Amino acid sequence: MVHHHQFDALVVGGGGAGLMAALHASKRVKTAVISKLYPTRSHTGTAQGGIGAALGNMEPDKWEWHAYDTVKGGDFLSDQDAVDIMCKEAIDAVIDLEHLGLPFDRTPDGKISQRRFGGHTNNETKKPVMRACHAADRTGHMILQTLYQNCIKNKVTFFDEFQVIDLLIDDGKCNGVVAVCLATGELHVFHSKGTLLATGGFGKMWKVTSNAHSLTGDLPAAILRRQLPLEDMEFFQFHPTGVYKLGILLSEAARGEGAVFINDKGERFMARYMPTMKDLAPRDICSRYIYKEVREGRGIGGKDYVYLDFRPDQINKYFEEDGNTKRITAEYLETRLPDIIEFSRVYQGVDPITQPVPIQPTAHYAMGGIPTNVDTEVLADASGKTIEGLYAAGEVACVSVHGANRLGTNSLVDLVVFGKIGGIKMADYCERASFRAIKKETAADFAQSQIDVLRNGKGGEDAAKIRKSLQVMMDDNVGVYRTGPGLEAAITHIRELQARYKNVAAKDKGMLWNTDLMEAWELGALLDLAEVTAVSALARQESRGGHFREDFPTRNDADFLKHTFVTVKNGKIELSSKPVTITRYKPEERKY
């Protein structure tokens, strides 16, 4: 049986971006949030280090410096109109969060405390600046709880544990979504005037990843299946400090507090490569140099990892080397970084207070995603045409503020700034638009067909085996270092897996809480996204930000200062491009 609902505004995703949008939309129109997880379990809750805003509470700072750092960090692929909006609005956004009740850490005189993070600088001295506002190393958790409570207060309707698998798109307009109620297995059609997608990242394409199990790219895949484009899929960030072999994140806040990378010789190697910012160089750069050390035989014990050293006495020694008069104690670190210290102890059996911690780069953040303009309206193509009634914000969207590489703390800013803009723009639209008619009897057909294939299938392929093969191959060939032949091999492999996927049948044929079936469906989404990621990466014959081609090791602005758009039409992948919006900051060499 198919159930039907109607709301003015629908938000898909109950993370930071979705809840921010719902909070603002619900002030004016009837709003519902649909989320496959209970909202406070969203990945935003794991964000540790901080949210960047040029409050200047600790030392001089300006939003223009934040904007320049973001553009430079993004290797000049960011759209600068969007970056200006984000960095300017970040200041009010943080103060808004404070007024909504978020318990930020404080300075002794009661202001919001701030700390250093990679790539954030004083543009005059070029030295690191304290810009990341934080609540211990649980900043995202606090944001999520604060926003959820405010949404409840605003009487937003929540459909928890409903998984959206299709969009109702007709004649270039969006009329809602189709979701599976996970508890019953039944389909629900949500008819709306405005729909905002905020489903987060899709790092589960890789084996070693910081991303939660739920981050499988369901909505970007649904977009592709509706023949709409994704943008800049080749740009995925590998965060330098994942727990060795597991990928669980140890926040950059550790380096913000003074931790450094060391190689097998005990050498602080980032000082050799990036003399000014050293270990606080942006993530793409740190990840590449970690693997350079490994390849040149200086990984720990000759293996594929290095150490992150945050033993307090060592940090004080590094401060001394850098002429920094600050000194810290073990107690200080335990209060500033409680969770990540605990993670090391629990998951690695390593105590960071007395031992260096084995780390390796981990697949972390999607710079690309569903293309939008600065009003969060989803683009139908590279010309800038929009899909009426459809919006996207947060990690799933590509507006594009992060360009080719995101700076730490800039995702949380992106969520709250563009989540709010999205909520307001969608409410504006809902107030002036009327419901478009949908064909109720057939609205769920495409979604139903996708589920039926998996439930009724007779094939013998196992989804878990295909997923593992995909993830290992993505780590090997579509990781920190890429080559033309490696990417071609990846594409061939993904297509073989897609063929095998046609013979996947869910073992559980039931309706209630059929996670076996939904995981098989998610694998289909991951395969589709992996294919367009590898194809986009193969076409970009240059190195920029998170995309490093060993066969084209330099940035090539003459040919590639442009965004990639990718669509799948009649089974064929088509690529096109959109120019980068450049206003104040002309592309320059990235030195730190």
Ligand X SMILES: Cc1cc2nc3c(=O)[nH]c(=O)nc-3n(C[C@H](O)[C@H](O)[C@H](O)COP(=O)(O)OP(=O)(O)OC[C@H]3O[C@@H](n4cnc5c(N)ncnc54)[C@H](O)[C@@H]3O)c2cc1C
Which amino acid would we find at residue 385?
K
150 touches ligand X by CB under 6 A: no
CA distance 588 to 456: 56
Angle at 390 between CA 438 and CA 39, to 5 degrees: 100
Range in contact with ligand X (rule: CB under 6 A) among 39-47, 312-320, 492-500, 548-556? 39-47
Judged by CB under 6 A, the residue of 47, 357, 427, 527 near ligand X is 47
Given candidates 43, 204, 288, 336, which one binds ligand X under the rule CB under 6 A? 43
Tokens 């992106």 found at: 414
Site string for ligand X, 392-431 (x = CB under 6 A): --xxx------------xxxx--x----------------
Residues designated catalytic: 283
Q: Is 15 in the site for ligand X (CB under 6 A)?
A: yes
C-alpha dihedral, 384 to 390 to 394 to 395, nearest 10°: -70
Interface residue with ligand X among 26, 31, 46, 192 (CB under 6 A) is: 46
Size of residue set near ligand X by CB under 6 A: 45
Q: Is 287 in the site for ligand X (CB under 6 A)?
A: no
Tell me the β-bridge partners of 160.
35
Q: Does 278 bind ligand X (CB under 6 A)?
A: no
Rounded to the nearest whole angstrom, what is the least distance from the CB of residue 414 to ligand X in the complex? 7
Binding-site member from 200, 371, 403, 486 for ligand X (CB under 6 A): 200
Is the Cβ of residue 193 or residue 406 nearer to ligand X in the bound state?
Answer: 406
Binding mask 356-395 for ligand X (x = CB under 6 A): ---------x----------------------------xx
What does the alpha-carbon distance between residue 411 and residue 398 come to, in Å, rounded to a whole number? 11
The CB density around residue 358, as the number of other CB atoms within 10 Å, is 19
Q: Does 163 bind ligand X (CB under 6 A)?
A: yes
> DSSP label at 522?
H
Judged by CB under 6 A, the residue of 8, 9, 14, 73 near ligand X is 14
51 or 379: whose CB is closer to ligand X? 51
- CA 95/CA 92 separation, integer angstroms: 5
Within 8 A by CB and 6+ apart from 16, the residues are 42, 44, 47, 140, 143, 144, 147, 394, 412, 415, 416, 419
Residue 297 Ramachandran class (φ > 0 left, ψ -120 to 50 alpha, else beta): left
CB of 410 to ligand X, least distance (A): 6
The string of DSSP codes covering 122-155 is -TTT-SEEEEEE-STT-HHHHHHHHHHHHHHHTT
By CB under 6 A, which span of 41-49, 59-67, 335-343, 450-458 interacts with ligand X?
Answer: 41-49
DSSP string, 454-484: HHH----B-HHHHHHHHHHHHHHHSSSEE-H
Which of 242, 237, 290, 238 shows the shortest CA–CA distance to 263? Answer: 290
Task: Tell whether residue 526 is a contact of ligand X (CB under 6 A).
Answer: no
- Closest C-alpha to 451, from 504, 410, 529: 504
Residue 83 in contact with ligand X, rule: CB under 6 A: no
Q: Is 542 in the site for ligand X (CB under 6 A)?
A: no
What mask of x and - would describe binding to ligand X in positions 240 to 259, judged by CB under 6 A? ---------x-x--------
**Sites of contact with ligand X (CB under 6 A):** 12-18, 34-37, 39, 42-44, 46-51, 139-140, 163-164, 198-201, 210-211, 214, 218-219, 249, 251, 365, 394-396, 409-412, 415
